[in-house]
Structure 1
Amino acid sequence: MFRRCNAIAVAIFMVLAPLFAPAFVKPADAADSLTVFAAASLKETLGQIADDWTKDTGKPVKLSFAASSALARQIDEGAPADVFISADLNWMDHLEKGGQLVDNSRVNLLGNRIVLVEAANAAVTTQIKPGFDLAGLLGTGRLAMGNVASVPAGIYGKAALTSLGVWDSVKAKIAQADNVRAALLLVSRQEAPFGIVYETDAKVDPGVKIVDRFPQDSHPAIIYPAAVVKTSKNPDAKAFLAYLQSQKAAEIFTKAGFTVLGKTQ
């Protein structure tokens, strides 16, 4: 009797199991998604452009945002990126010299500005010029910046403060962050009275306002290069890079405050 019941149970299971088993779906992220590594300051704009790409082509995009330095090092270590967009030339140069980019795929995509920001409810005003009293404005507070040795926004910020003759007076008051958005957050949360971020970052956070722009000649030109990563196996990588240079993408970048440098189609 036991064997008979067991056999019946097995038979019932074989009939019903397919009805309850989950249907197998090919994981899109594993096989089809285009993976884009991009500077943290591109989060909102690139997210919108990626959504448009998916609507236009039906193909998904996986976005990974961080400091350009961190992303370049991940690519060095074999991270599966198809396209890389850096917030400065140096980290793209680093990958190019290491043979990590597809030949002739590199393009200077965007330009930006760096600004001094404070909390939205603050009332300090100042003009950024040689010798301006940033240390006095900070008082006992900290100046939020990206890491001045590796994060592009931090490197640009230090260069600007140095050329304006105020770096030595504030270098002991710097709160260094892993990326520019983390520096922005310190000001937005009022954990630091001032910060140096990209102008486009300041526009997306209602918790901050711009005190003043840094003179463009006080630091190297801010250029965002983009390229296809050599290890990419995704046939859409070059097409997505071209899409980033389209008129449709240019309108999104321009609205966000970027300067479009690449060609538009």
Structure 2
Amino acid sequence: MVATEEFIWLSARIIIRHINKGLIRYLCRIDRWYDVLLNRAFYREFMQRTFRVIVSTFFLLFSLLLSPFSHANERERVLVFAASSMTTALDQIAQAYRKQTERTVILSYASSSALARQLAYGAPADIYVSANEKWMNYAVDQAVINANTLSPWVSNALVVVSARDDISQVNLDEASFLHAIGNARMAIADPTHVPAGIYAKESLENLQLWSVLANKLAYSNSVRAALALVERKEAPIGIVYRSDAIASKAVHVVADVPDTSHAPIIFPKAMTKDASEAAAQFFDFLSSDDAHRILAEQGFNLVSSSLSDQEISK
């Protein structure tokens, strides 16, 4: 407030000094009082310059007066970057948080790889939830994550889903998959960078199915995009997370993918180094009983926070 009062006083002095100098110059250039009315060019120039000074000073003052509110909004804002597979669960968790605290959380969903790269490029997120440890470690290596807040959060599983009534079950063998796919393609997330696709490829390889199905796949830029292909029946079947199957009303599970066929599906969470003050409160809420209940309903399993740093960095 002291700084604001000093700025107001300084602004007033600048305006008064400018007006006084202008008036002195103006009066020195006239001989008789009626010349005031005749010397319109100088009068117009003087008024234009005075107007510019007043307007410029006003906007500087206005910006200064608003700056405390701007900083307050930055401190209260919470922006979460989360893997697209967290959409349904995090939407509900954010609603529960808002109901309890009357604070709104901004949620941004995409593939874990895209979000990690955005963080590396300087995106102003406060919390990052990745669908695998690889992209969380990438964000840590880019020095954008507060490593002290990093912890495993939930786990997930892979399932094969379909929206077609004539596909009720798919056995995990070559003949069954090829019969279900037919002349179409099976939807999976892009295995070159999307965690769900990476897990799916690993499973198919370990089930001795990758070489057979590699040319029968439709890649999507996120697991939710792969789910959408199945929901619209553009793909007869697809491999998604169990949580995605639960969140969708249009698909049903036709096969469970064995957990032993791929690496553990762990979703770590962390705060960024530039996290807002309010972010810590929502970050803590993610570990609350209300959040745990929602996560369980959406098909996620809680991961013990006692997992070692070595397990997280694998």
Q: TM-score, normalised by structure 1?
A: 0.84
Task: State whether residues 29 and 62 of structure 1, in contact with CA within 8 Å, keep that contact through their aligned partners in structure 2.
Answer: no
Cα-to-partner distance string for 1:108-140 (whole Å, 9 max, x where unaligned): 0000011011114233422226x5642343121
- Other structure's SS at 2:137 match: helix
- Number of the residue aligned with 1:48: 92
Of residues 123, 129, 139, the one that matches 1:85 is 129
CA distance in 2, matches of 1:78, 1:250: 31
After superposition, the C-alpha distances for 1:55-104 in whole angstroms (9 at most, x for unaligned) are 22222210001111111111011011000000111000111122221131
Pick closer, same or farther for the CA change 1:117–1:237 going to 2, 3 Å.
same
Aligned residues: 237
Q: Structure 2 CA distance, aligned partners of 1:119 and 1:176?
A: 18
Supply the distance in 1 between the matched residues of 2:188 and 2:170 (Cα, whole angstroms): 18
Unmatched runs of 5 consecutive residues or more in structure 1: 1-23
Residue of structure 2 in register with 1:72 after alignment: 116
Of the three residues 267, 281, 288, the one matched with 1:239 is 281
Distance in 1 (CA, whole Å) between partners of 2:166 and 2:232 is 12
Residue 103 of structure 1 is matched in structure 2 by 147
User: Out of 182, 195, 216, which is 1:152 matched to?
Assistant: 195
Task: State whether residues 32 and 60 of structure 1, in contact with CA within 8 Å, keep that contact through their aligned partners in structure 2.
Answer: no
Structure having the higher helix fraction is 2
Deviates more, 1:111-120 or 1:235-244: 235-244
Q: Secondary structure of the equivalent of 1:221?
A: coil
Deviation at 1:209, TM superposition (A): 0.7
User: C-alpha distance in 2, partners of 1:145/1:178?
Assistant: 9
Does 1:141 find its partner at 2:184? yes
Alpha-carbon distance in structure 2 between the residues aligned to 1:238 and 1:149:
33
Most deviating of 149-158 and 111-120: 111-120
Flag the structure with larger Rg: 2
Which of residues 219, 226, 231 is equivalent to 1:176?
A: 219
Aligned equivalents of 2:164 and 2:158: distance in 1?
A: 17
Which of these residues, 138, 156, 159, is aligned with residue 112 of structure 1? 156
Matched-pair contact (CA < 8 Å) for 1:107–1:262? no
Contact 2:85 2:223 in 1 (8 A): yes
- 1:123 match: secondary structure: coil
Q: Say which SS state the counterpart of residue 104 (structure 1) adopts.
A: helix
Alignment deviations for residues 214-265 of structure 1 (CA, whole Å, 9 cap, x no partner): 0000001000000001122x112222222111111101100111001156xx
Classify the secondary structure of the residue corresponding to 1:191.
coil
The CA distance in 2 between the partners of 1:91 and 1:201, in whole Å, is: 20
> Is residue 57 from structure 1 mapped to residue 94 from structure 2 by the alignment?
no
Q: Is this contact kept in 2: 1:133–1:166, CA < 8 A?
A: no
Amino acid at match of 1:61: V
How large is the Cα RMSD of the aligned pairs? 1.8
* Alpha-carbon distance in structure 1 between the residues aligned to 2:217 and 2:208: 16
Distance in 1 (alpha carbons) for counterparts of 2:289 and 2:109: 23
Alignment partner of 1:193 out of 201, 213, 236: 236
Per mean C-alpha deviation after superposition, the further-off stretch among 55-64 and 131-140 is 131-140
Alignment check: 8 A CA contact 1:146 1:177 kept: yes
Give the match for residue 215 of structure 1: 258
Indicate if the aligned counterparts of 2:171 and 2:177 stay in contact, CA closer than 8 A: no
Percent identity between the two aligned chains: 37
CA contact (8 A) 2:167 2:180 kept: no
1:10-30 deviation line (CA, Å, top 9, x unaligned):
xxxxxxxxxxxxxx9x68976
